[in-house]
Amino acid sequence: MCALDVRPAVATERLLLRGPVAADVNPIAELANDLGVAGMTSNLPYPYRQADAEAFVGGVARMNPRTDAVFAVEHREFGLIGMLGFHEREPRRQELGYWLGRPFWGRGYATEAVTAALRWARGDWRKNVVWAGHFADNRASGQVLCKAGFLYTGDVEPRVSAGRGGAPAPTRMMVWLA
């Protein structure tokens, strides 16, 4: 995804998944600057500053579109509510990650976004296998991934969380098969 691409990549009943743009910097910084959000991700530092959001949006344009894809999750009424991305963690192993701002938890938006992104990955990107993980203390994320069709692998890996001060946290691994 190019950071300047503003065409909707994926549309659902309530959401648009599209490439992030410069206008997303402020809402990203505001929503991500929440320890409850950052602490459930691997990559979001806490505190999350405006400069972090600027660097993130700028970095998306430099990603390899064959191995990485990032979507701003935009609600048709509320605007940007979070981010979702696929990243190549190991060669030919795409891993899904996502986060939503706290005001948008528990409303089905994450499941809707993940499901739509997987449809896109299978159709447009030709991916048949996608990996994901959730911290063991984040059961809500596990439920989202299960509803989207992921299955537990039985593996638990220690994953570092920038939002938890770089401390490793047990991560339950999951896989989605098209």
Q: Mind listing the pLDDT tens digit for each residue in 115-128?
A: 999 999 999 899 99
pLDDT at residue 8 in the model: 54
pLDDT surpassing 90 at residue 3: no
Q: Which domains does the chain have, with CATH numbers?
A: 8-177 (3.40.630.30)
Mean pLDDT (the chain) is 94
Amino acid identity, residue 109?
Answer: Y
Question: Which of 7-11, 76-80, 153-157 is predicted least confidently?
Answer: 7-11
Sheet holding 15-18, edge to edge: 8-11, 15-18, 69-75, 79-90, 93-100, 129-135, 167-177, 151-161
Percent of the chain with pLDDT over 90: 90
Name the pTM for this structure.
0.94
How far apart are alpha carbons 41 and 159 in whole angstroms?
Answer: 10
Indicate the burial class of 145 (C-beta count within 10 angstroms; 0-12, 13-18, 19 or more).
buried
pLDDT in tens, 100-120: 999 999 999 999 999 999 999
pLDDT surpassing 60 at residue 69: yes
44 DSSP assignment: -
Amino acid identity, residue 136?
Answer: A
pLDDT in tens, 139-178: 999 999 999 999 999 999 999 999 999 999 999 999 999 9
Indicate the burial class of 19 (C-beta count within 10 angstroms; 0-12, 13-18, 19 or more).
buried
pLDDT at residue 9 in the model: 85
Nearest CA-CA partner of 17 in 87, 150, 115: 115
What is the average pLDDT across 130-140? 98
pLDDT in tens, 22-68: 999 999 999 999 999 999 999 999 999 999 999 999 999 899 988 99
What does residue 165 show for φ and ψ, rounded to 5 degrees? 75, 25
